[in-house]
Amino acid sequence: MSRYIADAIRQEVAVRAGFRCEYCQIHQDDAFYPFQIDHIVSRKHGGQTLLDNLALACFPCNVNKSSDVGTILLPQQIFIRLFNPRLDSWNEHFSVESGRLYAKTTIGEATIKVLKMNEIERIIERS
């Protein structure tokens, strides 16, 4: 399968997301780097280039997420999947105050951890 994503699909993903990163919610006008199209379930794990598996992502969220679909949270040492913008409600898993993201659930906690959402530069960028 080709890695190419048609411009029309990219535009549809961006419009659906309100031109915000579907993971950290920064608006693309406030981000330093251009936004990217993320495969929620990566091609490596069998994800396809279909609208239901694509999300608009800022550069840091996309790079840090990479092909990950979850992580091990300590001290529980259990696998927790990452936030899925097509299945989950952002407000159910996260809250934001002064640019800092707070987890409301273990899915939120796992996503903040893996995507490194609260590094100081990212907090400043979202503020």
Query: How many percent of the chain have pLDDT more than 90?
Result: 92
**Could you tell me the pLDDT band of residue 11, with boundaries at 50, 70 and 90?**
very high
* pTM attached to this predicted model: 0.94
Burial class (CB in 10 A: 0-12, 13-18, 19+), 42: middle
The answer to whether 68 touches 98, Cβ cutoff 8 Å, is no
For residue 6, CA distances in Å to 29, 88, 123 come to 22, 25, 32
Tokens 């608006």 correspond to 27
For residue 12, CA distances in Å to 51, 74, 78 come to 8, 38, 36
